[in-house]
Structure 1
Amino acid sequence: MPNLKNTPHFQALIMLFIAMISMQSSGSLAKILFNQFPILTVSVMRLLLGSIILALIFKIWRVDFKAINWKSVASYGIALAGMNALFYMSIARLPLGIAVSFEFIGPLSVALFHARQKFDFIWVGLAILGLILLFPFDQAAQNLDPIGIAFALGAGACWAMYIISGQKPTGISGNHTVCLGMFIGMLCLMPIAIFTGMPLAVFEPSNLIYFITLAILASALPFSLEMIALRSLTPLVFGTLTSLEPAIAALSGFVFLGEQLLWTQWLALSVIIVASIGCTMTTNRAKKYLSDE
């Protein structure tokens, strides 16, 4: 009888779960850092240190810079900058799980736009129902910040742009595109962060260690693990499992920040996850059907 724990598929699943936990835990760490540093400063430091770490991991110096499609890389980096900054501004005003749920509408919309199956209207309806359930209509004390919601939806729109621009040919590998995109995104946000008051204290060793940890949790570790996991997982399995991120974010907010959600909001997260899983499955089925024709 084969040992399931030693199979590449099982190991890839574990790596993917660790990557998702790492990514969503980084949101909790970012919220803690907001108490001491401006939001844009945290965003810039995450992108700066993340790009440096990834540059070392993926050996950016081996890239043929003359072959790079800088227009595609720049659009990717701008989308990444907007996604990162707006998401951080949203979680400063909203519970982590709620912000991720609103943000998740971005990639879900992209998937539904390209899907053409008869079940698509069901997933659209579930996504809309999930968004409605996120609002605590019967709990005035739990009202959601409308500006935070706007930031989260803006982050979702940038996430959609990130997916679309990431599919354009850049002349280099996906790993190097992410690395250069993060650096360009940092360059976009840095002037704004400096203008709004970026303290030099961020470069003090006692503070820098927190930003390095944030960069590892939010970029280096999840990107590296996802790259390995994708070698053994189908797009269907990968997309289905990553649909669990709103729930993981909510759990991270509960464990590390003490954020509590209403039962209707937990139900909303579940509905959005079901919509995302369903969309992933029907989209994958449509692609398989077209490839078989």
Structure 2
Amino acid sequence: MRSGTVTGLWFALLSAASFGVSGPFAKSLLEIGWSPGAAVGVRIGGAALVLAVPVIIGLRGRWGTLRRNGLTLIIYGATAIALCQFFYFSAVQRMSVGVSLLLEYLAPVLIVGWLWVRSRRAPSRLTVSGSAAAMLGLLLVLDLTGDQRLDPVGVLFGLGAAVCLAVFFVMSAKADDDLPPLIMAGGGMMVGALTILVLGLVGVMPFAFTFQDVTLAGRQAHWLVPVLVLVIIATVLAYFTGILAARGLGSKVASFVGLTEVMFAVLASWLILRELPSAIQLLGGALIVGGVILVRIDELRRMPDAADPLDQPNVVEPVPTTGAG
């Protein structure tokens, strides 16, 4: 296995682990009265502030990069960052973190279907088998046989998050090397923060804050604790490493490795909410890993000239006439 692929896998796992803690920590804020818009606004706005200085330094003498990639940053920031997090947190407000993640992580299946439509070439048996194994693993990890009640509006929010997550993986993989990962992440955060501010001012994404202690791991903690975790770990680190992973692995493989976010979220829920994973959830985790391996084996078996040009790492589609691609 190439060193670049190994590095991409590590970045993908780190990104998944970082994203995985967002649900439990955001839930602690929602439980004390924060609105989803407020949680997303603080998360994305704080990340934009953290990344502002590095982005400005990185753009010295390269301001034309913003002009050439302006549309990419606008679509990425508004869709893959702002709306994705708003839909997910809105789903978490109405349903459990697990069910919300199940719906959001239909994104890999959407990507397989998207690449199928764009290339007019059906996915191989290995990819289909990997997809099926990963989805079955998700069902087992989330243990939906328990007392889970689906909220129709929450389901719609979860599906909206899935579409936005698919956009994140596809755009991250296809971005030009002229747009470095740090610039893409920081620029996207700034666009996302502006999007959330506008939606909040017009009342689409209302803001509601309360400044009181939250409950984490059965103990009281200052409300700034989950805010800092959401900004630094679940946003800045998660998106930056996610872009690096998608560029190294391609959107399809990166999205399937991203399924491990569910396992990390279950682990985070165990540590933060005292919820112990069951044996069936551990079995589901093994199926997810198996599905990822099958998809990766399929990628390695395909010759470079036969591979899908729309899903190759660090390759840009020649005529990006559809914006996000």
For Structure 1 versus Structure 2, the TM-score category normalised by the shorter chain is 0.7 to 0.9
How many residues matched?
A: 279
Map 1:19-34; keep pairs closer than 5 Å: 19-34=15-30
Aligned equivalent of 1:198:
207
Of residues 234, 238, 244, the one that matches 2:260 is 244
Seq. identity, %: 21
Confirm whether residue 274 of structure 1 aligns to residue 284 of structure 2: no
1:97/1:248 contact within 8 Å kept: no
- Structure 2: give runs of 5+ residues left out of the alignment: 117-122, 212-221, 308-325
Paired letter, 2:129 = I
For the residues of structure 2 that align with 1:275 and 1:181, how far apart are their CA atoms? 30
Q: Which moved more, 1:33-42 or 1:221-230?
A: 221-230
Shift in CA distance, 43/113, structure 1 to aligned 2, threshold 3 Å: same
Aligned equivalent of 1:64:
63
Paired letter, 2:159 = L
Paired letter, 2:102 = S
Q: Which moved more, 1:217-226 or 1:248-257?
A: 217-226
Of residues 158, 163, 181, the one that matches 2:188 is 181
Residue 109 of structure 1: how far off its partner (Å): 3.0
- Structure 1: give runs of 5+ residues left out of the alignment: 1-6
Residue 224 of structure 1: how far off its partner (Å): 5.0
Structure that is richer in helix per residue = 1
Shift in CA distance, 21/191, structure 1 to aligned 2, threshold 3 Å: same
1:46/1:214 contact within 8 Å kept: yes
Aligned equivalent of 1:4:
none
SS of the residue corresponding to residue 192 of structure 1 reads helix
SS of the residue corresponding to residue 143 of structure 1 reads coil
For the residues of structure 2 that align with 1:222 and 1:86, how far apart are their CA atoms? 18
Aligned equivalent of 2:314:
none
Shift in CA distance, 95/252, structure 1 to aligned 2, threshold 3 Å: farther
Of residues 229, 237, 245, the one that matches 1:221 is 237
2:38/2:209 contact within 8 Å kept: no
SS of the residue corresponding to residue 95 of structure 2 reads coil
Q: Deviations over 1:103-144 (max 9, x none)?
A: 12203431465373232332343355456655735x4x3334
Confirm whether residue 153 of structure 1 aligns to residue 162 of structure 2: no
1:51/1:183 contact within 8 Å kept: yes
Map 1:76-91; keep pairs closer than 5 Å: 76-79=76-79, 80-91=81-92
2:110/2:163 contact within 8 Å kept: no
Aligned equivalent of 1:165:
171
Residue 248 of structure 1: how far off its partner (Å): 1.0
Aligned equivalent of 2:50:
53
Shift in CA distance, 99/230, structure 1 to aligned 2, threshold 3 Å: closer
Confirm whether residue 98 of structure 1 aligns to residue 107 of structure 2: no
Q: Deviations over 1:8-50 (max 9, x none)?
A: 9999987765554333123221111112311111101111111
Residue 146 of structure 1: how far off its partner (Å): 3.8
Residue 88 of structure 1: how far off its partner (Å): 1.3
Aligned equivalent of 1:3:
none
SS of the residue corresponding to residue 94 of structure 2 reads coil
Residue 179 of structure 1: how far off its partner (Å): 1.2
Residue 187 of structure 1: how far off its partner (Å): 1.6
Confirm whether residue 285 of structure 1 aligns to residue 301 of structure 2: yes
For the residues of structure 2 that align with 1:287 and 1:189, how far apart are their CA atoms? 43
Confirm whether residue 136 of structure 1 aligns to residue 144 of structure 2: yes
1:82/1:155 contact within 8 Å kept: yes
Q: Deviations over 1:220-275 (max 9, x none)?
A: 233455678899x8779977754422111111112212346666565555444433
1:102/1:149 contact within 8 Å kept: yes
SS of the residue corresponding to residue 290 of structure 1 reads coil
Q: Which moved more, 1:83-92 or 1:101-110?
A: 101-110
For the residues of structure 2 that align with 1:285 and 1:149, how far apart are their CA atoms? 37
Paired letter, 1:22 = S
